[in-house]
Amino acid sequence: MRTDSSPQTIYRKDYTAPAYLVETVELGFDLDPDRTVVANRITLRQNPASRSHDIVLHGEEIELVALRMNGKPLAPTEYQVDGSTLTIRKAPAKVVLEIETLCAPVQNTTLSGLYVSNGNFYTQCEAEGFRRITYFPDRPDVMAKYTVMLRADKAAYPVLLSNGNLIEEGELGDGRHYAKWEDPFKKPSYLFALVAARLVCQEERYTLQSGREVLLQVWVEEGNLDKTDYAMQSLKNSIRWDEERFGLELDLDRFMIVAVGDFNMGAMENKGLNIFNTKFVLANPRTATDIDYAGIEAVVGHEYFHNWTGNRVTCRDWFQLSLKEGLTVFRDQEFSADMIGTDSGRAVTRIDQVRTLRQAQFPEDAGPMSHPVRPDSFVEINNFYTVTVYEKGAEVVRMYQTLVGRDGFRKGMDLYFKRHDGQAVECDDFRAAMADANGRDLRQFERWYSQAGTPIVTARTRYDAVKRHFDIILSQRCPASAGQADKLPFHIPVAVGLLSASGKDLPLVLEGGKHAKGATTVVLELTEQEQIFRFRHVDERPTPSILRDFSAPVILEYDYTDDELLHLFSHDSDPVNRWEAGQRLAMERLLKLTAQVAAAGGSDANLKLDATFINAQRAVLTDETLDPAFRELALILPSEIIIAEQMDVVDPQAIHTARQFMRRTIGAALKPELLAQYHANQTPGAYSPDALSAGKRALKNLCLSYLMVAPDMAELKLAQQQFEKAGNMTDRSAALVSMIHSGAEAGPYLKNFYEDFESEALVIDKWFAMQAAAPTTDVAAVRKLMQHPAFTLKNPNRARSLIFNFTSNNPSQFHAADGSAYEFWAEFVIKLDAINPQVAARLARGMDRWRRYAPALQAKMKRALEKVAGRAKLSNDVLEVVTKALEN
Ligand code: B3K
Ligand code: ZN
């Protein structure tokens, strides 16, 4: 909680090297929920790179019991405590500090530091949680070797885990026992972890490609051992993949994953002891959907890949967060794509990434919390674990690969590790490794790290039939963002292909280009404000396919005609652009329909959808040469949030009405085809989460949702039967969602679902989430759901399932004209802030785009923001978000 009046802003430019480096850390824990004693013995030595002799330690919400330097107790006059820092001035060059502190894990509802979940102890230290455990120079550029002694009651906490290797364990008498762990690798404090719990594990000995054997464990609460197979399989796949793709081997003899039900985010890459939200570990066909399975694979991979990108090479300071996160997201994306293995499967993962960017990152880049991939300042670092740092950061890493090729990228990675293994470095060091390993000048590329905002690339084309030239003229601009009025040109790779009238790719001859003969996609490098690219020997006016595979995180403007888009939608060999053409066709129409609804006072009575569009949808739906997964993506209309981003003044109800009209019209017009595909894409037999089966289920369930927009008796029956007969959670929950969304009486089915899964927390989260996001659920209904005995604000998954799904995924209800949902938002930001500031700050972000709404809504949103901002007791986390939202 804020104690002083104004929160402090930290600037990247103010970085100074630590005055002291830590060599070894010995931690002793006497674990007790109410009163845990932490003994910490650190050896420090003055850092020759610094001139200061002041030892600066961080500590928060802990009670200092004893402090000794080089064996002698320090009197309170020999050090200063100021807020959360403890300073020992003019210390000797070599120092041993012995620090004893107390904390109360059971009272720690922030889930940062040492806390209790369902009676067990867990830690979360990134970014600055270690200081809630003991006094320490809690900054990522201080890397040290750790030895950890854990002592606890044996009956209550039979399992004692920490980083690295178990070197000793035994009994202490009076029912207590101990375990001593040693991590052979130097690490920053944010990677420290301990678990003391009643847990069971699935374990396996696994042989690395080098022949070395390692022990893999997945730890869960009793009763969940039937849900660990997929996480274990994903872990083994990750280990293998990193060996094969990047030559990176697991450096430990033991690697553990622990699942915990109360967790602020997805998972945490603590060295050798990854701690996971149960959501990204536990799965069996009965309880988990295809999306859950894919999430487990991605997050297990992500945390495992951090072992090299993040742990072995870490960040110098938190401004460099994307150095590890952007790179590791890119790695997990590539891993998931390689696991599917087919080109079309890879494209489906790419399309999903583009959707995430548009749904969440582009709005962030255009809103009050906009920041560069490498931010220049922050108040609370936890607010900067964002889609910009993660997903846009991954796009930036992907662009290196696009520019230097896959082999070149590997060379860059190799050089990066050769130079920086064991170090804490900057984003610039990664860029330098990529440049040097490939003999490329990547200086201008730095602007992707320093400039915020989504660049807009505008394309124009001209064809000279006589000279047989086709020119693509690309220009770029980037809108002003918070604190950055003018932007310099970015280095943008724009992958391009040209389609003939018959829909075939033309072989390309780019003037001055160095591409292979006969290439049908080339990467244009846009580095100036405007550039002309000329293709020669072009026999007919082609249809350009620009930004293939979404080669850069930009908004592409090109005046496509409907005919060109239809041509691309049926022929583009690049699946991402093929999908994109469909999205453009839909978006144009959705925007027009939305305007018509608004003009008609909200009515959809006179709306029309052209046959051309419906026929194009029909063609994709029934094209058996296309993967079901691709067809599903091609048929999903842009979300209400993505539509909103295209409008100067957002009218959420009109958007919803227009989109629903479009879905209803497609559902009615394509009824026979939807039904046929529904039946053709069944997946009988044992459930398997593989991409082909998941794609079939996705397409089938999309068909069902279209049929259920305005269902007749037969369609209702279809959904009910699917619900009753489903052999897996994907089909069961899809059927239930389609019923809830149709407005049909879903009550008995909801009840049945709840009773079946009452003891499965993750499924009950789904139960809340599907109701919260239904356009038929208003704020009153959400408040009623909050009265349900299964609801609690204290568990982040539960709070997110109901509150966040309502405020973020139910725009037409969240923006109800009377502003009642905004009041609800303010109330729960405040309530959550008292429990868990990190979770509260995420909820606070829900009002970021308030300036884009009609004046009447804006005024109500502003009032809600001011209500939160005006609270006397507010965390820095929430304060930063609402202050920035209210700033001009
Ligand atoms: N590194 C952690 C995120 C920590 C968030 C701290 N507020 C998970 C990840 O990105 O792998
Ligand atoms: Zn990460």
pLDDT value of residue 5: 53
pLDDT value of residue 212: 98
Query: pLDDT at residue 807 above 60?
Result: yes
| Cβ neighbours of residue 852 closer than 8 Å, sequence gap 6 or more | 644, 647, 648, 649, 650
Q: How far apart are CA 533 and CA 404, in angstroms?
A: 20
Q: Which atom of ligand 1 is nearest to the CA of 390?
A: 10
Structure confidence by residue, pLDDT tens digits, 236-274? 999 999 999 999 999 999 999 999 999 999 999 999 999
Query: pLDDT at residue 777 above 70?
Result: yes
Which listed ligand is nearest to 190 at the C-alpha? 1
Nearest CA to ligand 1 atom 1: 268
What is the pTM (predicted TM-score) of this model?
Answer: 0.98
Cα(325) to ligand 1 centroid in Å equals 8
Nearest CA to ligand 1 atom 10: 325
H or E element: which one contains 324?
helix 321-340
Cα(802) to ligand 2 centroid in Å equals 25
Residue pair 368/482 in contact (Cβ under 8 Å)? The answer is yes
Q: How many other C-beta atoms can be found within 10 angstroms of the C-beta atom of residue 341?
A: 9
CA atoms within 13 A on the CB side of 609: 26
Which listed ligand is nearest to 269 at the C-alpha? 1
Nearest CA to ligand 1 atom 7: 382
The tokens describing 423, both together, are: 């170090």
Ligand 1 pocket, mutate which of 128, 132, 268 (most atoms under 8 A from CB): 268
Average pLDDT score over the chain = 97
Structure confidence by residue, pLDDT tens digits, 145-159? 999 999 999 999 999
Cα(270) to ligand 1 centroid in Å equals 10
- Strands 20-30 and 143-153 come out as parallel
DSSP structure class, residue 446: G
pLDDT band at 762 (very low <50, low <70, confident <90, very high): very high
- Strands 530-535 and 522-526 come out as unpaired
Task: Write the CA distances from 359 to 217, 544, 550, 632, 638, integer angstroms.
Answer: 36, 26, 15, 18, 9
| Cβ neighbours of residue 502 closer than 8 Å, sequence gap 6 or more | none
Pocket of ligand 1 (CB under 6 A): 126-127, 265, 267-269, 302-303, 306, 325, 382, 385, 838
Q: Which atom of ligand 1 is nearest to the CA of 838?
A: 7
Query: pLDDT at residue 131 above 80?
Result: yes
DSSP per-residue letters across 378-415: ES-GGGG--HIIIIIHHHHHHHHHHHHHHHHHHHHHHH
Query: pLDDT at residue 3 above 50?
Result: no
Please tell me the least confidently modeled range out of 78-87, 113-122, 170-179, 512-521: 512-521
CA atoms within 13 A on the CB side of 116: 17
pLDDT value of residue 256: 99
Ligand 1 pocket, mutate which of 112, 115, 125, 126 (most atoms under 8 A from CB): 126
Residue pair 108/133 in contact (Cβ under 8 Å)? The answer is no
H helix and E strand count, the chain: 29, 31
Instruction: Domain 1-198: state its class.
Output: mainly beta
**Overall average pLDDT of the 44-52 stretch:** 98
Cα(875) to ligand 1 centroid in Å equals 20
Ligand 1 pocket, mutate which of 385, 390, 842 (most atoms under 8 A from CB): 385
**Overall average pLDDT of the 814-823 stretch:** 98
CATH topology of domain 220-312: Zincin-like (3.30.2010)
Nearest CA to ligand 1 atom 2: 268
Structure confidence by residue, pLDDT tens digits, 677-702? 999 999 999 999 999 999 999 999 99
**Overall average pLDDT of the 584-595 stretch:** 98
Q: Does domain 321-450 correspond to CATH entry 1.10.390.10?
A: yes
Q: Which atom of ligand 1 is nearest to the CA of 269?
A: 11
CA atoms within 13 A on the CB side of 530: 6
CA dihedral (135, 141, 147, 151) in degrees, to 10, reads 40
Residue pair 656/668 in contact (Cβ under 8 Å)? The answer is no
Nearest CA to ligand 1 atom 3: 268
pLDDT band at 204 (very low <50, low <70, confident <90, very high): very high
Q: Which atom of ligand 1 is nearest to the CA of 381?
A: 7
Residue pair 274/258 in contact (Cβ under 8 Å)? The answer is yes
| 1-198 and 471-476+484-575 share one fold | yes
Q: Give the residue numbers annotated as catalytic, written as ranges.
A: 303
Q: How far apart are CA 635 and CA 533, in angstroms?
A: 33
Residue pair 383/369 in contact (Cβ under 8 Å)? The answer is yes
**Omega cis (within 30) before 127:** yes
Q: Which of 143, 234, 227, 149 is nearest to 191 (CA)?
A: 143
CATH of 471-476+484-575, one of 2.60.40.1840, 3.40.50.300, 3.40.640.10, 3.40.50.880: 2.60.40.1840
pLDDT value of residue 2: 39
Domain boundaries, the chain: 1-198, 220-312, 321-450, 471-476+484-575, 757-888
DSSP per-residue letters across 546-600: ESGGG-SSSEEE----HHHHHHHHHH-SSHHHHHHHHHHHHHHHHHHHHHHHHHT
Query: pLDDT at residue 513 above 90?
Result: no
Q: Does domain 757-888 correspond to CATH entry 1.25.50.10?
A: yes
**Overall average pLDDT of the 745-753 stretch:** 97
693 alpha-carbon distance from chain centroid: 25
Q: How far apart are CA 312 and CA 300, in angstroms?
A: 18
Query: pLDDT at residue 1 above 50?
Result: no
- Strands 85-88 and 36-46 come out as unpaired
The tokens describing 850, both together, are: 């308030």
pLDDT value of residue 515: 83
Cα(274) to ligand 1 centroid in Å equals 11
Cα(652) to ligand 2 centroid in Å equals 33
Q: How many other C-beta atoms can be found within 10 angstroms of the C-beta atom of residue 486?
A: 7
Q: By percentage, how much of the chain surpasses pLDDT 70? A: 99
Q: Which atom of ligand 1 is nearest to the CA of 266?
A: 8
pLDDT band at 482 (very low <50, low <70, confident <90, very high): confident
